[in-house]
Amino acid sequence: MHSLMHRFRLESVALTHYLVKLLLTALLVVLASEVARRTPLFGALLASVPLISVLALTWLYVDTGDAERVASFSTEIFWMVLPSLAFFPLLSFLLRHRCSYYLSLAIALGAMFALYALAIWVRQRLGLRL
């Protein structure tokens, strides 16, 4: 019976930890969108901070305590940020040329994912560790 109670407590702590991560992450996303509604420049500044990356790095470190794993993850994020940068100017271009928002979003996301695939393929061809 003691073992069952101990397991229940551990699962409760894990669930609470997960919920805190989820709520904090959601709060930051909502905050960025609300700031952008009022002041696009400050919203863009907040959105340009790699919040998802910073949170993912932090949660990985909190969960594992493994600085080497965090360093490796950080390097991989860097390589994946490069192809993602095409998303923003392409979305802006399409919207300014009267393409609907959802079609522009789909095209920009499609191009970004195609560039992700290309980046992964190039890294594999060059023998770079993934």
What contacts 94, CB < 8 A, 6 or more positions away? 103, 104, 107, 108
Residue 99, phi then psi, degrees to nearest 5: -80, 140
Alpha helices of the chain — where are they, by DSSP H?
Answer: 2-38, 40-48, 51-64, 67-84, 87-96, 101-125
- For residue 16, pLDDT beyond 90: no
> Does pTM surpass 0.75?
no
Instruction: Give the closest residue to 21 by CA, choosing from 64, 78, 60, 69.
Output: 60
- For residue 119, pLDDT beyond 60: yes
- The one-letter code for the residue type at 105 is L
- Delimit the domains of the chain by residue range: 1-49, 85-130
55 or 9, greater pLDDT = 55
Mean pLDDT of the 101-118 span: 96
pLDDT tens-place string over residues 63-94: 999 999 999 999 889 888 989 999 999 999 99
